[in-house]
Structure 1
Amino acid sequence: MTRDKGKLCVLLFTGAGANLAQAADSGFVEQSTATLQTRNYFFSRDFSDIRGSEKSMAQEWAQGFILNFKSGYTPGPVGFGLDAIGKFGIKLDSSPDRVNSGLLPVKDDGHAADNYGRLGLAAKMRVSKTELKVGELQPNLPTLVFSDIRLLPPAYQGASITSSEIPGLTLQAGHLTSTTLRNEAGESKLQALLGNKPQRQVSSDAFNYVGGDYAFNSNRTTVSAWHSRLEDIYEQNFFGLKHSVPVGSWVLGANLGYYDAQEEGRKLVGKVDNQSFFSLLSAKLGGHTFYAGYQGMYGDSPFPRVFLNVSALGNELPTYEFVSTHERSFQLRYDYDFAALGVPGLLASTRYVTGDNVKTGMGYEGKDRERDLDLSYTFQAAPLKGLGVRVRNALARSNYRTDINENRLIISYTWTLF
């Protein structure tokens, strides 16, 4: 944390301390919540077209614990509070030829760490419906999606402000200076990902963002506008529209978005020129939901993002992103909720995305495709009530990048402590 942010944390804690005598009988304690999630994660990714001496598999098994504490606020027109997140991961199975699954840190000797953990704190202050936080943050924005897709969730260090003073309108802004990656305990510099290629040779001092979402039409319609900047690397704008409408027994929906990005400041990764459009249309009837999507990359660069983050693009899948230069992709997806057949908690999903028109720079058109199958069940009755089991199988094929066969098994349970 920088010196300025440290001073701000001290000020927030000092302000909270001035109200400690009243805090015990106030919302600071009464409105506090704490949960503990256990997450058992098996991950296997087989790079099926790699042979010989190259690493051909990433496969690990680990146990994670995630403790989330959120206090209420001290009384008065200005309220103070504290949030905390504790994370701890334990290696259950790994070997040097199967590391880099994203579940565990890799040590200098090529072995996965036996365990790793972190405690992150965020001081917060609230005035009316506006909240300021300083410290460990987990923002979830169209330009910085919360990417909780492995054993432990990532985090950022910085300051954020969120305001909901106007009904339906949520405004946010933030300044982030470092990150804790999903398989790390410490803090790292902010870096960029262009398409599927990490730009690890350079780092940025900050990620800044500002934007808002406005929900209206009985919350059936939401419009969004965001601007973000990974200093000295790229800046990006986003405009989005989500809409749903009942039509007889059906519910029709649309999720549309447009990104526009270019290089910024010292241009540490060179020229960035990307415009991206996606549309994901849905139709729901009972337990059935059908989707159709289109996604297009325009400009002379692939889609940029902060390193190791997913995006809000409609056709991005767990294995392939379909964000290469000039790429066009199409998606078909089907979800079923078995509650419609009297089996609540059981969900199934299958999706297929195919992409082409990729500018590979190797004299031929790049093409790729991915098929995903997901099945999850959350137990509804004692003694296993709340226990969640999720299975995923993915198959991804391409003529310009590595083919992948992937399997995941995730077993999770969350205790509400208070």
Structure 2
Amino acid sequence: MLNKRISLIALGILSATQAMANDQAESKGFVEESSLKVLLRNAYMNRDYKDGNPDKSEWGQAAIGTFSSGFTQGTIGVGVDAFGLYALDLERNEDRSGAQGIDFFKKGASGEPADDLAKAGAAVKFRLSSTTLTYGDQMPVLPVLSYDNGRLLPESYTGTLITSKEIKGLELNAGRFTAESRKSAEGHDSGGLKSINVLGGSYQFTEQFKAALYASDVEDVLKKQYVNANYVFPFDKDQSLTLDFNGYRTKLEDSYVRDNNITGDDNKIWSLAATFATGPHSFTLAHQRSTGDSNLGYAYGGYQKDQGRVGDGGNTIYLANSYWSDFNAEDERSWQLGYGLDFSTFGVPGLSYNFAYVRGDNITTSTSEGGTEREIFNQFKYVVQSGPAKDLSIKLRSSILRVSQKSSEYNVSGNEVRVFVDYPINVF
């Protein structure tokens, strides 16, 4: 059914004849609007697990090249997008690699991580008015299918995506993807995904209010719906209050529940965050709640071959309380106190700091109820503002996560450190 709805919406989008936006009419040409960018990334992640679990860490150097052409001129413009990825394993430690949450280099049949990874992808794109159809290898950023770029290399997906911006403030998306490239492995179909259909859109009702609705259907795994509402109350030129609501409803397929020995098939999870910004400071209070009968809680991302993972992108969790822990266990309730600081006001442009304390309770597992977890998150980020290293960013992030014994089936205690150095180069 979702397949048919996508087809109908796509036809409706492409047949729109109203006098609306027309990006294609302003096309300057295939070559004239082309760009080639290279991102050099050095990334290190260390997880010092507690309760007798072995520590894990990975370190790598990556080069991520992306090419995006403009569109040919005419009624229907044609263009090409492409990427090339390479990563070198700088640690090469069989004992310390292999943590599911790090996943820089997938272990092979021998049990050893790869020494390096190399892969590439390309997509062809067509534009009519302000509607674009893209087919091929892509990195989608949607609430129900969002690729993971928070590790050494990014994920990618192969399929078709239609994006329409014919009406000012309205964006519609419809797509179908049939292969997933795991961020830690070579090949275009290393994730085990059969297919995923996505459908939805967002609308900027006013300058202050924006909302979104999306749905997805992962073949033989689950169906998912998403809703968002975001409202900004401006008080002064440098003061505002932002309310952000996000919610997912997930229904697992009976065969997936049976084959993976899962209990229950339904989850609902939502978060509401209030952020008050004043000058360089921001203060956040957020609440998140998970309900339903599935012992997976909110299931997302990862790879279908791993229990509890579904193949819809490692960033498909548009929720407030997602740091090291996602606070997404069965029946879990969590609160967050957050703080952010922009140091530009104090004479250090490009430097920012973020802190969060999140506590979750009421966690249910197969053996207990009423479990808890808590996390302290700190992050410094600096972006070079000028000179030869302009736009180079250094991100230092740490988390202290403590999980009660009652919740040990769901999560594990530990200390995490992440160091990312990104240097983007605009070739042209």
Alignment TM-score, normalising by the size of structure 2: 0.85
Within 2, Cα distance between the matches of 1:30 and 1:383? 26
Tell me which amino acid in the other structure corresponds to 1:290: F
Q: Deviations over 1:239-270 (max 9, x none)?
A: 11011121134111011022112134744556
Q: Secondary structure at the match of 1:306?
A: coil
* Counterpart in the other structure of 1:313: 319
State whether residues 391 and 410 of structure 1, in contact with CA within 8 Å, keep that contact through their aligned partners in structure 2.
yes
Query: Deviation at 1:50?
Result: 2.0
Say whether residues 1:294 and 2:296 are aligned partners: no
Within 2, Cα distance between the matches of 1:314 and 1:206? 28
User: 1:26–1:142: structure 2 CA closer, same or farther, 3 Å change rule?
Assistant: closer
* Counterpart in the other structure of 1:214: 203
Say whether residues 1:241 and 2:236 are aligned partners: no
Tell me which amino acid in the other structure corresponds to 2:76: V
Q: Deviations over 1:32-59 (max 9, x none)?
A: 01110100011111112225xxxx1211
* Counterpart in the other structure of 1:22: none
* Counterpart in the other structure of 1:40: 42
Within 2, Cα distance between the matches of 1:409 and 1:416? 23
* Counterpart in the other structure of 2:67: 69
Segments ≥4 residues shifted beyond 6 Å: none
State whether residues 180 and 193 of structure 2, in contact with CA within 8 Å, keep that contact through their aligned partners in structure 1.
no
* Counterpart in the other structure of 1:196: none
State whether residues 316 and 322 of structure 1, in contact with CA within 8 Å, keep that contact through their aligned partners in structure 2.
yes
Within 2, Cα distance between the matches of 1:167 and 1:398? 47
Within 1, Cα distance between the matches of 2:117 and 2:167? 42
Q: Deviations over 1:291-322 (max 9, x none)?
A: 110000111121122326131111111x2111
Q: Secondary structure at the match of 2:184?
A: coil
Within 1, Cα distance between the matches of 2:120 and 2:254? 34
State whether residues 50 and 402 of structure 1, in contact with CA within 8 Å, keep that contact through their aligned partners in structure 2.
no
Give 1:88-167 correspondences, 5 Å limit.
Answer: 88-100=86-98, 101-167=102-168
| Greater strand content | 1
Query: Deviation at 1:171?
Result: 0.1
Q: Secondary structure at the match of 1:394?
A: strand
Q: Secondary structure at the match of 1:339?
A: helix
Within 1, Cα distance between the matches of 2:127 and 2:388? 40
Within 2, Cα distance between the matches of 1:338 and 1:276? 34
Q: Secondary structure at the match of 2:300?
A: strand
Within 1, Cα distance between the matches of 2:145 and 2:274? 23
Q: Secondary structure at the match of 2:344?
A: helix
Within 2, Cα distance between the matches of 1:145 and 1:233? 17
Query: Deviation at 1:78?
Result: 0.6
Give 1:231-270 correspondences, 5 Å limit.
Answer: 231-248=219-236, 249-264=238-253, 266-267=255-256, 269=260
* Counterpart in the other structure of 2:397: 392
Tell me which amino acid in the other structure corresponds to 1:113: A
Among all aligned residue pairs of Structure 1 and Structure 2, give the percentage whose two residues are the same amino acid.
Answer: 31
Say whether residues 1:275 and 2:268 are aligned partners: yes
* Counterpart in the other structure of 2:424: 414
State whether residues 198 and 217 of structure 2, in contact with CA within 8 Å, keep that contact through their aligned partners in structure 1.
yes
Q: Secondary structure at the match of 2:387?
A: coil
Tell me which amino acid in the other structure corresponds to 2:68: K
State whether residues 172 and 210 of structure 1, in contact with CA within 8 Å, keep that contact through their aligned partners in structure 2.
yes
User: 1:355–1:345: structure 2 CA closer, same or farther, 3 Å change rule?
Assistant: same
Q: Secondary structure at the match of 2:293?
A: coil
Q: Secondary structure at the match of 1:96?
A: coil
Query: Deviation at 1:404?
Result: 1.5
Within 2, Cα distance between the matches of 1:258 and 1:363? 26
State whether residues 334 and 360 of structure 2, in contact with CA within 8 Å, keep that contact through their aligned partners in structure 1.
yes
Say whether residues 1:304 and 2:299 are aligned partners: yes
Q: Secondary structure at the match of 1:93?
A: coil
What is the number of residues matched between the two proteins?
376
User: 1:148–1:94: structure 2 CA closer, same or farther, 3 Å change rule?
Assistant: same
Alignment TM-score, normalising by the size of structure 1: 0.87
CA RMSD of aligned residues (A): 1.7
Q: Secondary structure at the match of 1:30?
A: coil
Q: Deviations over 1:176-216 (max 9, x none)?
A: 111111111213365xxxxxxxxxxxx55211110000013
Tell me which amino acid in the other structure corresponds to 1:376: K
Within 2, Cα distance between the matches of 1:397 and 1:215? 40
Q: 1:360 aligns with which of 353, 365, 368?
A: 365
Query: Deviation at 1:106?
Result: 1.7
* Counterpart in the other structure of 2:32: 30
State whether residues 362 and 369 of structure 2, in contact with CA within 8 Å, keep that contact through their aligned partners in structure 1.
no
Query: Deviation at 1:381?
Result: 2.7
Within 2, Cα distance between the matches of 1:170 and 1:259? 20
Tell me which amino acid in the other structure corresponds to 1:156: Y
Query: Deviation at 1:112?
Result: 1.8
Structure 1: gaps (5+ residues): 1-24, 191-202
Within 1, Cα distance between the matches of 2:161 and 2:177? 8
Q: Secondary structure at the match of 1:340?
A: helix
Q: Secondary structure at the match of 1:98?
A: coil
Query: Deviation at 1:146?
Result: 3.0
Higher mean displacement: 260-269 or 349-358: 260-269
Within 2, Cα distance between the matches of 1:159 and 1:105? 27
Query: Deviation at 1:408?
Result: 1.0
